[in-house]
Amino acid sequence: MKKILFLCILLPSIGMAQSKPNIIYIMSDDHDANAISAYGSKLIKTPNIDRIANEGVLFRRAFVGNSICGPARATLLTGMHSHKNGMKDNRTRFDGSQLTMPKLFQQNGYQTAIVGKWHLHSYPTGFDYWKILPGQGLYYQPRLIDMKGDTATYPGYATEVITDEAINWLQNKRVPNKPFLLLLHHKAPHRYFFPSPKNIAAFQNKTFPEPATLYADTIGKGTAWKLQTMSILHDMKLSSDLKVEPTYLMDIPWLKPDSAEIAYYNSIINRIPVMDRQKIKDIYAVRGKIIKEQRPEGNALLKLKYQWYMQDYLATAASVDEGIGKLLDYLDNNGLSQNTLLVYTSDQGFFLGQNGWFDKRWMYDVSMRTPLIARWPGHIQAGTKNNNMVQNIDYAPTFLDVAGISIPSSMQGLSLKPILENTKNSIQRKSLYYHFYEYNADHTVLQHLGVRTDRYKLIYFYTVNEWQLFDLKKDPAEQKNLIADKNYATLLSAMKKELLKLRNQYDDHEKAGELQ
């Protein structure tokens, strides 16, 4: 009788534990929304990411507060802007002793895991299990660090390895019937955009539409445009970025690679498995032959480099979509889809030739905007499109709210749970705050901050005391700076007030140019 009574008491508690939703957060690195077909991309088909959107919600206006890898990851963990969590740039070491979202999940009965890219210069805290790439990681035969601090090399391609390791944790290492939080962080399609062997050939003969601003110049665009070094024409390297064998370039003075570029080319090529290496070199030899024959310069060179960039970037992104498909199948086949909130996003957007650029960093929408797609059967209406302005400071509060965990007052974002479940149509937000800090030799983008509303954007490059104002409805490509237009004087004043309000709201009081 006592045993029966004990079971009667125990079984409801087990049921309650199982009823808590699981959360899987998939984040790629530099995957722009314009390279996802659910967002209307004409560049690539992404059927598996599209499946999440078809079965859930797609956010049309999701943004980050600091468009660079490490800070975006720190914001996910803390629900705070960079100046509050201490991770302002990629060179900073993340302070893992502070309160984070995974720690709160741990404290409330969840098992927590992260697999893949970490890039925070400190070991993860708040996780029951982790296996991470050191630094940026490698595409071929990647190394992973485990919880003992041991580093091992894994045969294969990074996206596939990370996917398999995440599924391995789900299958063999987690505690069954206990809710979990899994962060699955891909390296791809981050520079240097190296596709997997099975995807390289499929994209090499494709021609992609050029963005309208591919051949934009810097005239009248301000100091920041003049100083940037993220031009496809001038700064994207033929050998290290686009895999052109250096021997094809040695007798072309304006294209001849330096010793560092040659060394990097050799290092990435030599990591390709021997069985695939010559085949891949032969594919890329076509590019070398074109360069050697045409000896292109100026816009002719830019046209070639853009197409090759797109071929590699999109082939690399294709592997992410394939990995997601494999994960979705695993969840379906193991009864985990129904009670799991699954989110797909990127750490930020990425320039795919707009302004003639690659990379991110800027407050312009191409860089600041990120894909955000979520599925939660029984809670999110399938096929929903959401137009709220949301930001990556919202992710941690949302996940905590979904799990029924109190959101600490230190978190600066808003829970999106009400709009996920369609109990509210909108969130109380008039504007978004942005602050980019990292200025270094990589791409020399000036430090800047700003405010974005539904229609307008104000950016302040405070180290050179230059402002930019854009009407996003009339000028979505952000090409026409209205700062000197007297017709916008009243709006400019209002936008500056809104910027100051946000700086106070988010407790960002560090002096920035004329802003105190």
pLDDT digits (tens, 9 = 90+) for 390-405: 999 999 999 999 999 9
Q: Which of 378, 406, 429 is the last residue of a domain?
A: 429
pLDDT value at residue 476: 98
282 and 179 part of one domain: no
346 and 208 part of one domain: no
47 and 123 part of one domain: yes
358 and 374 part of one domain: yes
pLDDT value at residue 11: 40
**Residue 322 lies inside a defined structural domain of this protein:** no
pLDDT value at residue 79: 99
pLDDT value at residue 424: 83
442 and 425 part of one domain: no
The encoded tokens of residue 256 equal: 């001849």
453 and 439 part of one domain: yes
Residue 82: strand, helix, or coil: helix
187 and 290 part of one domain: no
pLDDT averaged over the chain? 95
Q: Structurally, how many domains does the chain consist of?
A: 3
185 and 215 part of one domain: no
516 band by pLDDT with thresholds 50, 70 and 90 = low
Look up the CATH number of the domain holding residue 460. 3.30.1120.10
**Residue 388 lies inside a defined structural domain of this protein:** yes
pLDDT value at residue 15: 38
**Residue 325 lies inside a defined structural domain of this protein:** no
178 and 214 part of one domain: no
Whether pLDDT at 177 is above 70: yes
pLDDT value at residue 18: 52
361 and 467 part of one domain: no
Q: Which of 401, 429, 457 is the last residue of a domain?
A: 429
Tens of pLDDT, residues 447-481: 999 999 999 999 999 999 999 999 999 999 999 99
**Residue 460 lies inside a defined structural domain of this protein:** yes
Tens of pLDDT, residues 53-86: 999 999 999 999 999 999 999 999 999 999 999 9
Is 446 within 8 Å of 463 (Cβ atoms)?
yes
% of the chain with per-residue pLDDT over 90: 92
pLDDT value at residue 41: 97
167 and 306 part of one domain: no
Tens of pLDDT, residues 249-292: 999 999 999 999 999 999 999 999 999 999 999 999 999 999 99
**Residue 54 lies inside a defined structural domain of this protein:** yes
Tens of pLDDT, residues 11-48: 433 434 458 999 999 999 999 999 999 999 999 999 99
**Residue 463 lies inside a defined structural domain of this protein:** yes
pLDDT value at residue 257: 97
Q: What is the mean pLDDT of residues 197-205?
A: 93
- Its sign, for the CA torsion 198, 199, 204, 207, is positive
Sheet holding 372-375, edge to edge: 151-153, 143-145, 129-133, 111-117, 180-185, 22-28, 340-346, 372-375, 57-59, 384-386
Residue 117: strand, helix, or coil: strand
* Cα dihedral: 204, 232, 370, 463 (round 10): 170
25 and 170 part of one domain: yes
Look up the CATH number of the domain holding residue 60. 3.40.720.10
Q: Which of 264, 295, 311 is the last residue of a domain?
A: 311
**Residue 316 lies inside a defined structural domain of this protein:** no
Q: How many CB atoms lie within 10 A of CB 295?
A: 15
Give dist(CA 416, CA 427) in Å, integer: 8
Place of tokens 């079965």: 55
pLDDT value at residue 5: 41
pLDDT value at residue 343: 99
% of the chain with per-residue pLDDT over 70: 96
Is 187 within 8 Å of 142 (Cβ atoms)?
yes
**Residue 511 lies inside a defined structural domain of this protein:** no
Whether pLDDT at 6 is above 90: no
Judging by beta carbons within 10 Å of its beta carbon (0-12, 13-18, 19+), is residue 387 exposed, middle or buried?
exposed
Is 515 within 8 Å of 462 (Cβ atoms)?
yes
Tens of pLDDT, residues 220-242: 899 999 999 999 999 999 999 99
The encoded tokens of residue 422 equal: 């369609």
Tens of pLDDT, residues 483-505: 999 999 999 999 999 999 999 99
Range(s) of the domain holding residue 496: 434-505
Place of tokens 């390297």: 237
Whether pLDDT at 433 is above 70: yes
